[in-house]
A and B are shown apart, each in its own frame.
Chain A
């Protein structure tokens, strides 16, 4: 394979990957309702979107879930990563394999298992169940992001701190946390995006009283064309892309 051929192939595939996204974004500014031909630039779908109360409520719900879930997942995940990195304990192997398994598990399997446990222990389907579910699928991503950062540390640094009398909590606050901060922040951002994007798990564990954006979009798309969906989808894409770009920059830094 020559270099030109390789470049051409890469460009072609990337073109096809981004083509649908591009068409969607363009259409969100298209005057035409059905998006079949370009009939002029407009912001009207965005205006309608912001005037659409049920969509806005769903968006607020989604943001709330994403922020809380990402925060809790980051706290627990960071502690988990530190535990895996620092300590020897019974069940460590079981814990890391469970992290691995929950990452590999198809979403739908996780979705029904969570639905069953919520019903079994009597958690009402709605905000709380969604939150727990989102924390659960974000958790492995945070653990792995933070853990792989911790592995790059110089262990002697921690040993020195310990020899000088620092307790575990102190070591965490003064050394581990600041040094792992980029990975922790990146884990938060990725969790936030994952939460905002999830359809499969949410479809199972949500109740009628708490509508979230992806599910709202899903039902609107199934019913038929509604151009506000293009606008909200474009906004979702922009948010996700920005957050992922930031999180990647954070991870790349100092590497």
Chain B
């Protein structure tokens, strides 16, 4: 028997689809459209279609910002990876009942206001902040170090805010690594480094790529971090996009920069799926293999 068109089903599907279409799909298409329009003093954007905005992104000035923000985000990504990988590994090797608690402790700050946490870093990095007070007190330095409003501060801030994004995917990748592979390698005479480099790292590569992705991309947009910790000199792509939209009102250019960011996201996602494929081809052992 065929049921009549069900009201509940209709609303359940309809509402979400409508919302996502109207406020996710269409807006993103509009960004793309805007990036090809011309700037207009009265209506913000106008015809004709042009690729000028993209040409402008190749301007030395903006290219420099793009490179700077890629560098700072990239460094934050590396810091997160270097801290996050051993951290996730330590969690994975702890007794099982600890895992949830430790993960919770890392993720907890992610749910608290990141602006507030960025601001809190000022107390640590400032001229009269914790680090300088401690170093002066211990007599290591004579004058306070300039930590705030430097590139170092921005990178630290980004890593601080985004670390949980790195730890989570790494943990879930590490947790899946089959211990038997490592035992087998040990039996066959592989040292700790070889076991790590040739088994753990390749098998966790989707986690590594996912983690890097989840740090790198938000990092470029977090304009308030460079605002509060970097001063005016250390801009991220997000600062430029924000200025284009809210101050200079050059929407096509801002949209073009944002499209570049999305293209980067797409590229990284592609890398991620490549890494996944690589792992499923390389294996890991399935129980069916035995």
Contacts and interface: CB of A to CB of B under 8 A. Distances in A.
- Whether chains A and B associate is yes
Interface of A: 1, 6-7, 9-10, 13-14, 17-21, 23-24, 27, 34-36, 76-77, 79-80, 82-83, 86-87, 89, 91, 95, 98-99, 101-102, 104-110, 112-117, 119-120, 132, 135-136, 139, 143, 167-169, 172, 190, 193-194, 196-197, 199-200, 203-204, 214, 217-218, 221-222, 229, 233, 236-237, 240-241, 243-245, 248, 252
B15 to A, nearest CB: 5
B121 interface: yes
Contacts of A236: 112-113, 116
B8 A169 contact: yes
A80 B16 contact: yes
Contact of B133 (A36, A116, A190, A245): A36
Interface stretch (B46-54, B200-208, B254-262, B275-283): B254-262
Contacts, number: 222
A244 B34 contact: no
Interface string B214-245: 10011011111001100000000010011001
Given A116-B30, A236-B113, A76 B24 contact: no
B241 A98 contact: no
A167 B224 contact: no
Interface in B89-115: 89-91, 93-94, 100, 102, 104-106, 108-109, 111-115
Contacts of B152: none
Nearest to B268: A104
B146 interface: no
Contacts of B265: 104-106
Contacts of A196: 113
B190 interface: no
Contacts of B177: none
A161 to B, nearest CB: 13
A116 B255 contact: yes
B13 A109 contact: no
A114 B215 CA distance: 23
Contacts of B111: 190, 193-194, 197, 240-241, 243-244
Given A9-B90, A99-B20, A194-B111, 11 more contacts: A6-B90, A35-B123, A83-B13, A89-B13, A104-B269, A114-B27, A116-B255, A143-B16, A168-B8, A214-B115, A243-B111
Interface in B38-63: 44
A1 B90 contact: yes
B274 interface: no
A167 B22 CA distance: 30
A237 B112 contact: yes
A119 B45 CA distance: 11
Interface of B: 6-9, 11-13, 15-17, 19-20, 22-28, 30-31, 34, 44, 83, 86-87, 89-91, 93-94, 100, 102, 104-106, 108-109, 111-117, 119-121, 123-124, 128, 130, 133, 160, 163, 214, 217-218, 220-224, 227-228, 238, 241-242, 245-246, 251, 254-255, 258, 261-262, 265, 269
A135 B19 CA distance: 9
A97 B261 CA distance: 19
Contact of B238 (A6, A19, A102, A108): A108
B228 A172 contact: no
Interface pairs A-B: 8 shortest CB-CB: A108-B221, A80-B16, A113-B27, A20-B120, A168-B8, A24-B120, A83-B12, A117-B27
Nearest to A14: B105
B16 A76 contact: yes
8 contacts: A9-B90, A17-B160, A36-B133, A98-B20, A112-B254, A135-B23, A168-B7, A194-B111
B137 to A, nearest CB: 11
